[in-house]
């Protein structure tokens, strides 16, 4: 029971009144889901109601209400992708949710703080399969032209790609390329002509502005890559061209150019800002070399860290941050040894964000302190979870965990520049962060983060593990496990610093399907929640 003399009683009264007043609105929204006229309005209103109930219930740790509101939120997110009206089975599920909230409303009027258990069926049923066409199937509907003066290579690439695209045309001259571009307007253009890729991009953009263009340049030719960047060509591969790399890049341009769910970063102002970022400091490059060289040891890493007093100080401060859950650490040798190579590399990279100080993050309802703690919490959760799953995968996941939110800084800056802070914040509160980013900025934090990582040359697996974390089902097979791990960690530790108290049901199902122990993640999540309270 919550008594009148309790410190939080006044807050509880406000919450109780809001809860009870929302119940008729829930009923009305469910009725509207069964029709077409007010379907979209109903979905958005219900999402706002349950998002608010979940957020406010956290203050009192009403876990049952939080868990069911979270499940309902995700159902409503899925309904946004479905045509109206909602299926009868879905309406029946929402009716049961409504009945459960009516029961809790009655219990709340009695001042209880321990609610009856929700029917387990509510968490097991009510599943909507997202109607997302896979990237390979979308790519299969696209035409591709490949320009290369090496005829043998044209034939080799053609044989490899015929099974993944709708049609393949190989050309060996500028005249042939221009003719096909003018007459057939292919969806994707791949050019493998070295420094002449710049000229080819000019010809391509003449007929298909802002199209899907992939350039292949010599791995030692930095000038051509730079010139292509000035022409807003960012999909660049290096020679010798590997089929596997081209196949992955084709999926990436498919996601960015031919999907409707989201638009990968096509905002020129943000992309231009990324291109002005400083390159990685030499110390961080040395750390990467040590961490990626199996012949080098933790002693070699300690030597590199000690070369930079600033970095050494950052590592020491991190070691004594309660979020990392370490005992008192007094020396660099001790800090680096305890952290290990993977985590030191990730922490060093995270401090590249320091150049963005004073960015206004209020649109996300957070500040620089929260921003930093999100990276630390995600890294801690990933380390505690995946150290029991796959130590080897942490070479990628430790970096993606701590750097996955760096794109938030650039998006926040652009939101402020455009004067859309209030609009973004309202949408974020009512529909969630990712939808707000997609609707206002046509991109997401992981998408921008992956572009920054690409610029920093952190490795294709690292870049794509973040790029596909929004929708891991679309990830290329070789990085699907990384994208899924990031997807889960990013959702459990949100951009505004809040942490999910329980693992959502859909994550449980995915992990069980993959034969992964849910209790390992649950224990790691519990530890992170406890650390965040210190």
Contact 76, 43 (CB under 8 A): yes
204 with 238, same domain: the answer is yes
Q: Could you say which of 78, 97, 124 is where a domain stops? A: 124
371 with 516, same domain: the answer is yes
Pair of tokens at residue 345: 């590399």
48 with 169, same domain: the answer is no
Look at strands 212-217 and 167-171 and give their pairing.
unpaired
**Is residue 452 a part of any domain in this protein?**
yes
- If one counts the domains in the chain, the total is 4
pLDDT score at 261: 43
498 with 402, same domain: the answer is yes
350 with 364, same domain: the answer is no
Residue 43 CA neighbour count, 13 Å, CB half: 21
**Is residue 173 a part of any domain in this protein?**
yes
375 with 396, same domain: the answer is yes
**Is residue 36 a part of any domain in this protein?**
yes
**Is residue 163 a part of any domain in this protein?**
yes
**Is residue 265 a part of any domain in this protein?**
no
**Is residue 1 a part of any domain in this protein?**
no
**Is residue 187 a part of any domain in this protein?**
yes
Apex 496 CA angle, 414 and 351, nearest 5: 70
pLDDT score at 112: 65
484 with 394, same domain: the answer is yes
Pair of tokens at residue 294: 């199996």
Which H or E run contains 235?
none
Pair of tokens at residue 476: 């290329």
Return the SS3 of 156.
helix
The span from the CA of 357 to the CA of 199, in Å, is 39
Q: Which CATH number covers residue 78?
A: 1.20.120.160
pLDDT score at 160: 92
Which H or E run contains 406?
none
Neighbours of 196 (CB within 10 A): 16
75 with 173, same domain: the answer is no
Range of the domain at 255: 135-260
184 with 120, same domain: the answer is no
Q: Residue 374's closest CA among 522, 493, 470?
A: 493
48 with 64, same domain: the answer is yes
The span from the CA of 410 to the CA of 67, in Å, is 32
How far lies 165's CA from each of 168, 263, 479, in Å? 7, 21, 21
Q: Which CATH number covers residue 196?
A: 3.40.50.2300
What does each of the 534 residues of the chain score in pLDDT, given as a tens digit?
A: 454 455 566 777 777 888 888 899 999 999 999 888 888 888 888 988 888 888 778 777 788 888 888 888 878 877 776 677 888 878 888 999 999 999 988 888 776 667 788 887 787 665 554 445 678 888 999 999 999 999 999 999 999 999 899 999 999 999 999 999 999 999 999 999 999 999 999 999 999 987 899 999 998 888 898 888 777 787 899 999 999 889 989 988 887 777 754 443 444 555 666 666 666 677 777 887 787 777 888 888 889 888 888 788 888 888 877 766 666 777 888 888 888 887 788 788 777 666 666 778 888 988 888 888 898 899 889 988 998 998 888 888 988 998 899 889 888 888 888 889 999 998 888 778 888 888 788 788 998 898 888 877 788 899 999 999 988 888 888 899 999 999 999 999 999 888 988 888 888 888 888 889 999 999 999 989 988 876
Q: Could you say which of 310, 338, 355 is where a domain stops? A: 355
Q: Could you say which of 355, 381, 413 is where a domain stops? A: 355
246 with 320, same domain: the answer is no
The span from the CA of 53 to the CA of 73, in Å, is 10
Q: Which CATH number covers residue 477?
A: 1.10.3210.10
DSSP string, 462-500: HHHHHHTSSSGGGS-GGGHHHHHHHHHHHHHB-TTS-B-
191 with 225, same domain: the answer is yes
Contact 143, 167 (CB under 8 A): yes
**Is residue 275 a part of any domain in this protein?**
no
Pair of tokens at residue 312: 């050494």
The span from the CA of 350 to the CA of 323, in Å, is 15
The span from the CA of 516 to the CA of 150, in Å, is 47
DSSP string, 308-376: -HHHHHHHHHHHT-GGG-PPP---HHHHHHHH-HHHHHHHHHHGGGGGGTT---GGGT--HHHHHHHHH
């Amino acid at each position: 029971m919550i008594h009148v003399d309790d410190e939080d009683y006044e807050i509880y009264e406000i919450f109780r009144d809001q809860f009870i007043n929302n119940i008729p609105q829930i009923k009305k929204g469910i009725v509207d889901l069964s029709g077409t006229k007010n379907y979209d309005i109903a979905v958005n209103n219900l999402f706002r109601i349950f998002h608010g109930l979940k957020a406010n219930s956290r203050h009192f740790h009403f876990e049952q209400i939080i868990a069911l509101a979270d499940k309902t939120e995700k159902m409503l997110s899925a309904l946004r992708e479905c045509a109206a009206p909602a299926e009868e089975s879905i309406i029946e599920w929402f009716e049961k949710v409504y009945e459960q909230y009516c029961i809790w409303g009655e219990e709340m009027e009695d001042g209880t703080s321990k609610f009856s258990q929700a029917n387990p069926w509510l968490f097991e049923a009510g599943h909507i399969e997202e109607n997302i066409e896979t990237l390979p199937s979308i790519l299969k509907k696209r035409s591709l032209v490949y320009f290369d003066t090496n005829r043998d290579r044209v034939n080799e690439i053609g044989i490899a790609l015929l099974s993944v695209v709708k049609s393949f045309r190989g050309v060996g001259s500028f005249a042939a390329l221009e003719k096909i571009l003018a007459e057939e307007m292919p969806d994707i253009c791949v050019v493998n002509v070295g420094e002449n890729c710049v000229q080819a991009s000019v010809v391509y953009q003449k007929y298909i502005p802002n199209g899907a263009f992939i350039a292949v340049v010599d791995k030692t030719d930095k000038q051509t890559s730079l010139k292509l960047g000035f022409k807003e060509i960012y999909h660049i591969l290096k020679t010798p061209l590997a089929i596997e790399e081209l196949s992955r890049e084709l999926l990436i341009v498919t996601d960015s150019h031919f999907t409707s769910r989201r638009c990968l970063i096509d905002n020129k102002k943000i992309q231009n800002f990324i291109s002005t970022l400083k390159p990685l400091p030499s110390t961080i490059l040395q750390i990467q070399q040590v961490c990626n060289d199996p012949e080098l040891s933790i002693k070699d890493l300690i030597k590199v860290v000690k070369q930079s007093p600033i970095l050494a100080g950052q590592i020491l401060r991190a070691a004594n941050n309660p979020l990392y859950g370490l005992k008192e650490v007094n020396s660099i040798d001790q800090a680096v040894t305890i952290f290990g190579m993977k985590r030191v590399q990730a922490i060093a990279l995270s401090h590249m964000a320091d150049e963005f100080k004073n960015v206004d993050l209020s649109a996300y309802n957070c500040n620089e302190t929260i921003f930093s703690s999100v990276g630390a919490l995600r890294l801690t959760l990933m380390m505690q979870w995946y150290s029991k799953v796959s130590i080897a995968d942490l070479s990628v996941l430790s970096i993606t965990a701590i750097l996955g939110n760096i794109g938030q800084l650039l998006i926040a800056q652009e939101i402020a520049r455009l004067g859309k802070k209030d609009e973004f914040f309202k949408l974020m509160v009512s529909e969630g962060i990712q939808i707000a980013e997609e609707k206002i900025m046509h991109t997401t934090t992981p998408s921008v983060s992956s572009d920054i990582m690409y610029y920093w040359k952190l490795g294709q697996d690292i870049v794509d593990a973040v790029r596909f974390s929004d929708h891991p089902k679309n990830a290329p097979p070789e990085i699907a496990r990384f994208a899924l791990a990031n997807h889960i960690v990013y959702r459990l530790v949100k951009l505004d610093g809040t942490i999910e108290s329980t693992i959502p049901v859909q994550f449980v199902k995915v992990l069980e399907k993959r034969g992964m122990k849910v209790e390992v993640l649950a224990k790691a999540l519990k530890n992170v929640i406890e650390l965040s309270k210190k």
